Amino acid sequence: MMRRDPPNPTTDFSKITQAKYIKLGEKGKWDNLCFKDGTLRLGYDEVAADYSTPQGKKPVFDLYKKQGKTDGAASNHARQVHDFYAAGSETLWITFSDDKLWWCQARGPVEFISHDKEIASKQGSRLRRTVSGWHDVSSMGKILHMGKMSGRLTKISGFRGTICDLQPTTFEYLFLLLQGKNIPAVEKVLADKEELLGSIKKLIKDLNPFDFELLVDLIFSASGWRRIGIIGGTQKTKDLELIMPVTEERAIVQVKSSTTQQQFNEYLDRFEGFPADKIFYVYHTPERDLMCNAEETNIVLIGPKALAENVLRAGLVDWLIEKAG
């Protein structure tokens, strides 16, 4: 299994000025090896063992020109080899594996392994050590899932060569991502969303009890639950009885506009023995934040904030505006 070492990396991002993508072997075949021993590895077993940065790109360019490569292809090979040798600690290296982004900083000189094609196929022909290993988490400890990041970054995983630079805007995005930050446009949307949620909470409180129960019913319906019992009425313990068709889970819902901890505790006693997989207690105006015993794993409290988020998620803002207006 790939390890995360350390789990919460510390890097002085103020000294980082660029980032490069590297493919660790054909189709990432050296990924596990590099993650395990904290190295970057490169193929190019044809390149001389004593190649060094001061020589520049010309020896590699000439090598591939002699093999019949075009000027463009030879230049590209020369650039990639040179980058592997020349990039210092100011450079972040990234790769993609196991549906995650991995990053590191290189240190020290390049270590030559072998010209032997069989050995190079398994280990690479040369390697560089890393400052603190490869990381698949941000500096805040958040796992870097590819599915949760911008396509402008993840599309680099389709690069057909070995090493390439990140464009300035992509580097800027990566730079913020690894520090657990958002780009300014996202920060603006998040701030606007918080303001909207605050307004939604106020509108929910303006609903009459019947409309509030109807809103709760609509939220659960939008989440896939199917109502099999009547709303409200003379039932003292449940306002909704639901079933999740896919899993056949059964749930009961108690809806309260205003409530207290004492009232909730009384309902907890009534809930005991109910043939339900989940029990939802939904309210919009508590006397204070409600607390539920950690042992009550099938009890779900849905208060003002969660209600507002569910209204937004279920696309019920227009319905709420109409009812509250």
Q: Does 114 lie in the same domain as 88?
A: yes
Q: Is residue 75 part of a domain?
A: yes
Q: Does 318 lie in the same domain as 203?
A: yes
Q: Does 85 lie in the same domain as 56?
A: yes
Q: Average pLDDT over the chain, rounded to whole? A: 90
Predicted local distance difference test score (pLDDT) of residue 236: 56
Q: CB of 302 within 8 A of CB of 311? A: no
* Least confident stretch, 42-56, 175-189, 246-260, 302-316: 175-189
* Least confident stretch, 142-151, 196-205, 217-226, 284-293: 284-293
Mean pLDDT of 201-221: 94
Q: pLDDT digit string (tens) for 39-89? A: 999 999 999 999 999 989 999 999 999 999 999 999 999 999 999 999 998
Beta pairing class for 240-244 and 91-97: unpaired
Name the percent of the chain lying above pLDDT 90.
77
The packing angle between helices 58-66 and 71-86, to 10°, is 140
Q: Does 52 lie in the same domain as 157?
A: yes
Cα gap 68→54, rounded to integer Å: 25
Q: CB of 109 within 8 A of CB of 126? A: no
Cα gap 176→173, rounded to integer Å: 5
Cβ-count burial 9-28 (b if 16+ within 10 Å, e if not):
bebeeeebeebbbbbbbeee
* Least confident stretch, 142-151, 217-226, 232-241: 232-241
Q: Does the pLDDT value for residue 313 go beyond 50? A: yes
Predicted local distance difference test score (pLDDT) of residue 13: 81
Q: Does the pLDDT value for residue 225 go beyond 50? A: yes
Q: Does 158 lie in the same domain as 131?
A: yes
Q: Does 304 lie in the same domain as 217?
A: yes
Mean pLDDT of 250-266: 92
* Least confident stretch, 9-18, 69-78, 272-281: 9-18
Give SS3 for 209.
helix
Q: Does 210 lie in the same domain as 158?
A: no
Q: CA of 247: how far to CAs of 9, 15, 242, 250, 300, in Å?
A: 40, 52, 12, 9, 18
Q: Does 122 lie in the same domain as 211?
A: no
Q: pLDDT digit string (tens) for 118-174? A: 999 999 999 999 999 999 999 888 999 999 999 999 999 999 999 999 999 999 999
Q: Is residue 2 part of a domain?
A: no
Q: Does the pLDDT value for residue 322 go beyond 70? A: yes
Number of separate domains in the chain: 2
CATH assignment at residue 308: 3.40.1350.10
Q: Does 211 lie in the same domain as 100?
A: no
Q: At 231, is the pLDDT very low, low, confident or very high (cuts 50, 70, 90)?
A: low
Predicted local distance difference test score (pLDDT) of residue 297: 78
**Structural domain boundaries, residue 231:** 193-324
The 3-state secondary structure of 121-167, one letter per residue: HHHCCEEEEECCCCECECCCCCECEHHHCCHHHHHHHHCCCCEEECC
pTM for this structure? 0.70
Cis preceding linkage at 6, omega within 30: yes
Q: Is residue 65 part of a domain?
A: yes
